[in-house]
Structure 1
Amino acid sequence: MENKKWFVIGLMSGTSLDGLDLVYVKIELNKGYHFEILETEAVNYSDIWKNRLKDAFGFSGEKLTFLDAQYGKFLGQQVEDFIQKKSIEKIDFIASHGHTIFHDPGRGYTLQIGNGAQLSATTKRKVICDFRTQDVALGGQGAPLVPIGDQLLFSHYDFCLNLGGFANISYQKEISRIAYDICAVNIVLNHFTRLNGLEYDDGGKMASEGKVNKDLLHELNSLGYYKEMAPKSLGYEFVIETQLPLIEKYELSLPDILATCVEHSAVQIAEIVNQVVTENEGAQYRMLITGGGAYNTYLIERIKDLCAVDVIIPSKEIIEFKEALIFALLGVLRNEGQVNCLKSVTGASHDHSGGQIYNY
């Protein structure tokens, strides 16, 4: 097979609203897929953008459509700044995740704003985006999409765990890739710290000083989602309709809320990981952890304590930019007409190549 390579800018905005990740990467096909991260940048959202994205869940259709266009232009401007700042010359296309506002695959819809046509027009470049919609139309969850990248780029780890707004896990089971959202993590932790004037709990220090409320922990662990079989995924709807009201009714101090939510996350992660390990007794497993939660020292300690695996925390570059990197890969696969959505992961009717392409 002919060797191929692509130079791509990947964009990722997570539900925890910590900002926009940009990565400039070379992806090469040569007896498998390989990557080299060439440049990265993390752009923090201004208070204005943070509030727009947070409040968009309640916007009217007209206001949300306008925000979609505005955000597409914003993404384009950030890409242009990135290109100039890093003196980037060769770009085959931009692959953009957008920012998720709605995600309810059970009712057949998902929405990531960041209008691809606006992004393409602003940058004057080819754009591949909207990776989730087709999968939902085919009966899938539209999430998680990163596992195809775990399979193609990070197969030397037994588990790939991402700790972002939500925790999601990916692993190989016989010939199929299995992956799903486990539970809410940073989207809940950051909600409560922001109510108290802090962006996040640095290193999990406040959580480590709090006391786990056993009654709340029991209620959280008893939520119906955890009894559902995969494929399954979580959205902001689950957090605001189910999880936040449950936590708020206990009227706990901030440290106790954080301690309890961290414990809940660690317990849910451990239940999944340890079940797989038990089924394959005797094997030594390695779990790669990425996403902003990898910096929450207390959460990582609890995961290490509860999970019967070796936990690997990679370089800062991989921790922060793995998702943007993989969306660049998803763009490559879509560009080549190759599968980038796995039915074993999302539950769609068949494997397929998802994403809209805007040629400038």
Structure 2
Amino acid sequence: MPSFSSHKLVVLTILLPVALIYSSNAQLTSSFYSNTCPNVSSIVRSVIQQALQSDPRIGASLTRLHFHDCFVNGCDGSVLLDQGGNITLSEKNAVPNNNSARGFDVVDRIKASVESSCPGVVSCADILALAAEASVSLAGGPSWSVLLGRRDGLIANQSGANNSIPSPFDSLANITAKFAAVGLNTNDVVALSGAHTFGRAQCRFFSSRLFNFSGTGRPDPTLNATYLATLQQNCPQNGSGTNLNNLDPSSPNTFDNNYFANLVTNRGLLQSDQELFSTNGSSTISIVNSFAGNQNAFFVAFAQSMINMGNISPLTGTQGEIRSDCKKVNGS
């Protein structure tokens, strides 16, 4: 017994310096606001619940904002900055976001509600992380402990948004490389792509698959024929590129594993979706099959991958600032 106690003491003395190192690096923690803004999660959730009543797409849109934020300069709220003042080129006007990213008004409403309860405490970057979790769980998906303590960036990076955010036109190799560049692996690629189990996409993001795939003058051969006919009807060849289509035709507003079942039957809407299953020899195929057959496995993986993504290069401690208005840097 005494030897066990002394062994425990040695372990503690070894671990203690490590703990001090981590705290000095101001690591993200689920309890970051437990004293300064204990109700922040419920405030965020309440505003989103209200928004969902008039806009069933909003949950998917808010989840996408967190994704597009984290892939550029890390999770620092830079995607929320308007052009103006020191922000000469906003990420909002980058190709992946322009006339596509949405939900900024809801983020502003969340921020106003949080500010009235705990002024000057909660960052816009953390609001995006909390909004993504609330959006997913409100749609029937998994819940997870959101790690918090990010601070807001002082700059936007439009070229970074143009080059770093995975595109629906990217090959699987390119998407995997973009994930790897921010420390995310193939499992994260497949799990996070599963966010396309809710939300909508405009025709312009996949119409080439319907009529002139890779310049062949023919549709993408991986598209299910019945699904192809439906999509061609909603996205005629010279029609509006902004018509909306459900990313998951079977349960468009529910967060479930039907996205993966769709891929297995060649009903992936975006080329980047279908390639997860239709790229010969890819390690993603077995992961898609696993998630298609086991919703719980997908939910567990998705929650972990969202935590992994939320850990991309956060500003902490005295870095950055806590914006009072998510659209602009303080004092601008």
Q: TM-score, normalised by structure 2?
A: 0.35
Higher relative contact order (CA 8 A, sep 6+): 2
Structure number, greater radius of gyration: 2
Give the number of the structure whose residues are more often strand, by fraction: 1
Give the number of the structure whose residues are more often helix, by fraction: 2
